[in-house]
């Protein structure tokens, strides 16, 4: 192979590496900006039509303000939370809930959604704080799960009759982790992982291409083993008696 051909191949390899490096940098940034922009536009399309024309800046400005609907939505939600935090607001809202409770179809939908939001957004909630592994869909195959909570209600009562202490877990699908399966799994069959929920979500979305740093996992295991190791007391050194002539 001639030197000229080697030079061309090396130059092409450098250009390819430059392109791949730029793609790794630009693709996540571009996709993130696109998704955020699409979300802001979707919220604006829902909120802005309900804003009075007098308060809508798009009516008297030569350009539209993206995100104005999002700001209005956040402001309204905050004001509603402030008003319902006092006694009068809670009283009015309780009457509204009584009215919703009398509607056959609406009450089931409202009560279910309310319980979900209270569970997920509660400060004391421990839901989806741990990640684990289970053998699914058969023995020998393992799947990532997000541990929701201990099984409750009638399902827990029925399973305890057959001596099964279970947890409610969510098994996400790849590459869309928002869809998946609700499973009630015996606690003894769940292997708890040290990775965070964010790291597990990246692993699911990337179909296994992005995995947590093994160095961090090794450090965590060392810290856990150091905590479990028994501490030995240091024995005091006894002074030797001096010889008397």
The 10s digit of each residue's pLDDT in 8-35 is 778 888 888 888 889 888 988 998 899 9
Q: What local confidence, expressed as pLDDT, does residue 229 receive? A: 57
The Cα–Cα gap between 40 and 48 comes to 11
The DSSP call for residue 77 is: H
- The residues near 18 (Cβ < 8 Å, ≥ 6 apart) are none
Domain 130-214 - what CATH class?
A: mainly beta
Q: Locate 207 and state its tokens.
A: 């179909």
Q: What local confidence, expressed as pLDDT, does residue 185 receive? A: 93
Q: What local confidence, expressed as pLDDT, does residue 212 receive? A: 75
In this prediction, residues 101-124 reach a mean pLDDT of 76
Between the ranges 89-98, 143-152, 218-227, where is the mean pLDDT highest?
143-152
For the packed helices 68-84 and 87-101, what is the interaxial angle rounded to 10 degrees? 100
pLDDT digits (tens, 9 = 90+) for 88-104: 888 888 888 888 888 88
Q: Locate 5 and state its tokens.
A: 């051909």
In this prediction, residues 167-186 reach a mean pLDDT of 90
pLDDT digits (tens, 9 = 90+) for 36-68: 999 999 998 989 888 888 888 888 888 888 888
Q: What local confidence, expressed as pLDDT, does residue 234 receive? A: 47
H runs (alpha helix) in the chain: 3-47, 68-84, 87-101, 104-121, 153-161, 197-205, 214-228
* Residue 166, beta-bridge partner list: 186
* pLDDT higher than threshold 90 for residue 135: yes
In this prediction, residues 197-223 reach a mean pLDDT of 74
Chain mean pLDDT for the chain = 81
What is the bridge-based pairing of β-strands 166-172 and 142-150? antiparallel
Q: What local confidence, expressed as pLDDT, does residue 146 receive? A: 93
The Cα–Cα gap between 43 and 88 comes to 30
């Amino acid at each position: 192979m001639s030197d000229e051909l080697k030079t061309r191949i090396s130059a092409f390899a450098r250009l390819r590496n430059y392109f791949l490096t730029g793609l790794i940098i630009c693709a996540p940034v571009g996709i993130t900006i696109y998704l955020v922009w699409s979300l802001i536009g979707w919220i604006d399309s829902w909120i802005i039509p309900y804003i009075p024309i007098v308060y809508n800046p798009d009516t008297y400005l030569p350009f539209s303000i993206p995100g104005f609907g999002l700001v209005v939505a956040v402001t309204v939600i905050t004001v509603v939370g402030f008003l319902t935090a006092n006694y009068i607001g809670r009283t009015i809202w309780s009457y509204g809930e009584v009215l919703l409770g009398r509607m056959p179809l609406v009450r089931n939908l409202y009560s279910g959604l309310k319980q979900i939001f209270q569970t997920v957004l509660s400060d004391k909630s421990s839901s989806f704080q741990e990640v684990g592994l289970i053998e699914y869909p058969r023995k020998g195959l393992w799947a990532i799960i997000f541990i929701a909570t201990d099984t409750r209600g009638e399902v827990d009562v029925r399973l305890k009759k057959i001596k099964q202490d279970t947890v409610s877990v969510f098994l996400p699908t790849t590459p869309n982790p928002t869809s998946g399966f609700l499973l009630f799994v015996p606690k003894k069959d769940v292997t708890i992982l040290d990775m965070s929920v964010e790291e597990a979500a990246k692993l699911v979305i990337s179909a296994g291409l992005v995995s947590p740093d093994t160095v961090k996992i090794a450090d965590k295991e060392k810290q856990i083993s150091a905590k479990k190791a028994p501490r030995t007391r240091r024995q005091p050194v006894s002074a030797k008696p001096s010889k008397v002539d």
